[in-house]
Amino acid sequence: MIRLNLVLLVAVLASAFYLVHTQYESRRLYTAIDKANAQARRLEADHEQLQVQKRAQATPARVQQLAARQLQMRPVTPGITEYVTLVPQADASAQEGVGQ
């Protein structure tokens, strides 16, 4: 009888310790997830910041200025443009088929 009680006592103690350990582990992991989420948000914010910066470097105002000053370019006019009309063959024949 006593032996059985001892075994049960050990079992209860083991279970209790394991419970404490699991609880601790779960909280530790939760903290880790939370930190990772925070980092994800930070990286997202950084990404947005970089995108805005990239865009700020490529605004028409800046492009125009650089093209005119550094590359001596000027705005395009129809006088210096060669216009090419692309006739999509497949589309044209398909439309003919519909038309008939």
Partner 1 sequence: MSNVRHRGINYSASPLLASKTPVWRSKFVVATLALAFAGLGARAAYVQVFGNEFFQRQGEVRFARTLELPANRGRVLDRNGLILASSVVAQSIWAIPEDVDKAHPKLRDLAKLLEMPLPELKKKLANEDKTFVWVKRQVDEPIAKQIAALDIKGIYQRREYKRQYPEGEAAAHVVGFTNVEDRGQEGVELAFNKQLAGKAGSRRVIKDRLGRVIEDVRDVIPPVDGPDLQLSIDSKVQYFAYEKLKDAVKNHKAKAGSVVVLDAQTGEVLALANYPSYNPNKRVNLSGEQLRNRVLTDSFEPGSTMKPFIAALALDKGLVKPTSQIQTAPGRISIGGSTISDAHPHGVLSVNEIIQKSSNVGTVKMAMQMHPREMWETYAQAGFGQKPQVPFPGAVTGRLRPYKTWRPIEQATMSYGYGLSVSLFQLAQAYTIFARNGELIPVSMVKAETPATGVRVFSEKNAVSVRKMLELATGPGGTAPKAQTMGYSVGGKTGTAHKQEGKSYAANKYRSFFVGLAPVESPRVIVAVMIDEPSNGEYFGGLVAAPVFSETVQQTLRVLGVQPDMNVKPQIVTEAVEESF
Binding site for partner 1 (CB under 8 A): 27, 30-31, 34, 42, 45-46, 48-49, 51-52, 55-56, 59-61, 64, 75-83, 85
Q: Residue 22 carries which side chain, given as an amino acid letter?
A: T
- Select 2 or 61, whichever has its Cβ closest to partner 1: 61
Q: How far is the CB of 73 from partner 1 (least distance, A)?
A: 14
The pair of structure tokens assigned to 28 is: 């530790």
Q: How far apart, in whole angstroms, are the C-alpha atoms of residue 67 and residue 75? A: 9
Number of H helices, E strands in the chain: 3, 0
Q: How far is the CB of 14 from partner 1 (least distance, A)?
A: 24
